Structure 1
Amino acid sequence: MTGARLCGGCADDIVAAPPGARPRCPRCALRLPATASICPACLGAPRAYGRTIAAFDYAPPADALIRMLKTQLRLSMAPVLARLLADAVVREGGLPQGVLLAPVPASRASLRARGMNPASEIARGLALHLDAPLLRQALRRQRETPRQTGLSRRARRQVAASLFVASPLVRGRHVALVDDVMTTGSTVQAAALALKAAGATGVTVLVAARTPS
């Protein structure tokens, strides 16, 4: 698989936690408040996914890699992000045996604008690094949604409700749900609910970047 490459030093700088950063919540990958083992949001609301692995925080300088893929349409960034995410998966102890990778589907508007789905491009490289099967059509959107940039957390949750339907091929499988950026978690929650409804035994979320708050 061809694409841009990062030297070891640059890769280390990108995935390094900011000075003084707290560990991540194992469920949603947010930075934890002092002394907490699970973030208050996850304690207060059930998640359809069991854990989240993020390669880095969506903050400078690493966020530039996401923008290059999504905004500048530099597809060479997808293998870079896939490698960083694969390394994070290994650091976090790997995935269950027999896991199935599934990208979060893009909206039709995004596909028309970009001509590609960033999550799917990252998942393609991730499948190679992890030697795991990729089911591109594991999920499909039941309806289209407005752009979520700038929406509040509550508005995002309302938009995401009943957004996806999952393929019966996920029945009896643990699914690793792949996305580029996780913000409020409403999209991956909706996707995980659909996967569980279709018979998936469990869902792990894999994201290149996690917004800090």
Structure 2
Amino acid sequence: MAAFDYTFPGDLLIHYLKDEKRFACARVLSALLARRVRADAVGLPCHTILVPVPSSRASVRRRGFNPAAEVARALARRLGLACRPTLLRRVREGERQASLSRAARIANAQGLYVCGARADGCDITIVDDVMTTGSTAHVIARAFKNAGAASVRVAVLARTRHHLSSS
């Protein structure tokens, strides 16, 4: 589920959080995502664990924080859910997804993430900022299912309208 399309003004809020360290934007963005979660017919089970997508080491060095983790923590507070950033680890550095084609994104995401612990019977919701092709979410969902998760959902701030070509 996505709170909004990746267009103005939502894309600007994401930019302010990620690139200008305006942490108040995480609260605003989490409010928008919480509204979307509550509006969803299924919603999230009360024992859902929110897990942010880990940023690359280079991104954390450059920014000083993981934007998805900031949003996930704010969303967890807003919805009264658990947030466990350490449940998922990034095990290698891949290329920046933003610069890759759809096919390259899918290949790049393979083997990038592992669960830090068993997730037997857990309901997991992956939290990220922007979904373009879904390749990151797909790989992470598979890792959680392999670790025993009962269900895996994806909650993103924004979804791009125009998916990348398969070239």
Q: TM-score, normalised by structure 1?
A: 0.73
Q: Could you say which structure has the higher helix fraction?
A: 2
Question: Size of the alignment, in residue pairs?
Answer: 161
Hey, what's the Cα distance between the residues in 2 that align with 1:96 and 1:150?
A: 35
Hey, what's the Cα distance between the residues in 2 that align with 1:72 and 1:156?
A: 26
Cα shift at 1:147: 1.3
Matched, 1:126 2:75: yes
- Residue 104 of structure 1 corresponds to 53
Hey, what's the Cα distance between the residues in 2 that align with 1:109 and 1:193?
A: 25
Cα-to-partner distance string for 1:24-67 (whole Å, 9 max, x where unaligned): xxxxxxxxxxxxxxxxxxxxxxxxxxxxx110000122211011
Hey, what's the Cα distance between the residues in 2 that align with 1:197 and 1:62?
A: 34
- Residue 129 of structure 2 corresponds to 180
Cα shift at 1:97: 3.4
Aligned AA (1:205): V
Aligned AA (1:155): A
Aligned AA (1:206): A
Q: TM-score, normalised by structure 2?
A: 0.93
In our comparison, the structure showing a higher alpha carbon Rg is 1
Aligned AA (2:114): V
Please list, as runs of the form range in 1=range in 2, the aligned pairs for 1:29-178 lying within 5 A after superposition. 53-93=1-41, 94-178=43-127
Hey, what's the Cα distance between the residues in 1 that align with 2:90 and 2:10?
A: 29
Gaps of at least 5 residues in structure 2 are 163-167
Contact conserved, 1:168 with 1:199, CA < 8 A, in 2? no
Equivalent residue of 2:152, what SS?
A: strand
Hey, what's the Cα distance between the residues in 2 that align with 1:173 and 1:167?
A: 14
Aligned AA (1:166): C
Q: CA RMSD in A?
A: 1.0
Contact conserved, 2:46 with 2:81, CA < 8 A, in 1? no
Q: Percent identity?
A: 50
User: Runs of 4 or more off by more than 6 Å in structure 1?
Assistant: none
